[in-house]
Amino acid sequence: MAEPIIDMRNIEKHFGSVIALAGVSVDVIPGECHCLLGDNGAGKSTFIKTMSGVHKPSAGEIFFEGKPMNFDSPRDSIDAGIATVYQDLAMIPLMSVARNFFMGNEPTRKIAGISFFDHQKANDVTMAEMKKMGINLRSPDQAVGTLSGGERQTVAIARAVHFGAKVLILDEPTSALGVRQTANVLATVDKVRSQGIGVVLITHNVRHAMAVGDRFTVLDRGKTLGTANRGEITPEELQDLMAGGQKLATLEGSLGGTV
């Protein structure tokens, strides 16, 4: 197995007396999709915010490309090569796809010594990067709000990859999508992985995780229940770990098998 890009060891995060993470260890290697699963309140969001520099861990160690790393802010994490695509996607619906793609990183050209936004470069790069991900836009000037949910996810992912992501964190990317859009986003994840980028996929959906995942880590109340490689665990076993299989089986029995 290749050396991890990022290695989170025994991470704890306390908010006053509340222990959100109690010794979670997860690593991500190049070209893999590491799925992080768990029910609401399991600690997934806190963990990825610690990985992406939003939270500083109360205890534990973070190694990035083999070196100890302390992220003081999300900017430190981004500069290192960790990109996070949250559910809200951080896009402006009425703004063009190209403008959203380069928001905060606008290419410029100088005319008479004055810098202007380089529309042509932005348009060309946006169209090319989206095509790599399997999306053929009608125009780079198309308002991003006119795209489907899956296409907007792909814009956000393509943007992160273009700007040098080494680790891409996807926070519930398929939670509000239909079947076809979900398939497109999972295909995009596969394309990203094939480029040697490590993907952390946060999801509640075992089927989506099994479709693209190489390793699966289940969190429960801030602790790791275990990590399994593809082929070592069935979807049913993974679902049981997430949902508390014994509790469900007991409930199913009491209701006469109707659960």
Instruction: Judge whether 201 and 212 are in contact, CB under 8 Å.
Output: yes
pLDDT of res. 126: 94
Residues 6+ apart with CB under 8 A from 4: 27, 28, 29, 63, 198
Q: How far is CA 117 from CA 107, 122, 145, 158, 222, in A?
A: 6, 8, 22, 20, 45
User: Which phi and psi (to 5°) does residue 134 adopt?
Assistant: 90, 15
pLDDT of res. 111: 87
Per-residue pLDDT of the chain (259 residues; tens, 9 = 90+): 689 999 999 999 999 999 999 999 999 999 999 999 988 888 999 999 999 999 999 999 999 999 998 888 888 899 999 999 988 777 899 999 999 999 988 888 888 889 888 999 999 999 999 999 988 889 999 999 999 889 999 999 999 999 999 999 999 998 888 888 999 999 999 999 999 999 999 998 899 999 999 999 999 889 988 899 999 988 888 888 887 644 444 545 555 555 4
Place of tokens 């040098």: 164
Residues 6+ apart with CB under 8 A from 125: 101, 102, 107, 162
Q: Taken in order 85, 53, 26, 22, is the CA torsion positive or negative?
A: negative
**Cross-strand bridge partners of residue 19:** 14
User: Which phi and psi (to 5°) does residue 89 adopt?
Assistant: 65, -10
* b/e sequence 186-225, b meaning 16+ C-beta within 10 Å: bbbbebbbeeebbbbbbbbbbebbbbbbbbbbbbbebebe
Place of tokens 């109340």: 221
pLDDT of res. 210: 93
pLDDT of res. 58: 93
For residue 231, what is the DSSP state? T
Q: What is the CATH number of domain 6-93+154-254?
A: 3.40.50.300
Strand boundaries in the chain, DSSP class E: 6-15, 18-28, 33-37, 59-64, 67-68, 82-85, 108-111, 114-117, 167-171, 198-203, 215-220, 223-229
Instruction: Judge whether 25 and 224 are in contact, CB under 8 Å.
Output: yes
pLDDT of res. 245: 47
Indicate the Cα dihedral angle 167, 140, 175, 231, nearest 10°. Answer: -50
Instruction: Judge whether 24 and 224 are in contact, CB under 8 Å.
Output: yes
Q: How far is CA 128 from CA 57, 98, 121, 134, 137, in A?
A: 39, 11, 11, 10, 10
Q: How far is CA 71 from CA 53, 159, 179, in A?
A: 5, 22, 37
Which pTM value belongs to this model? 0.87
pLDDT of res. 241: 83
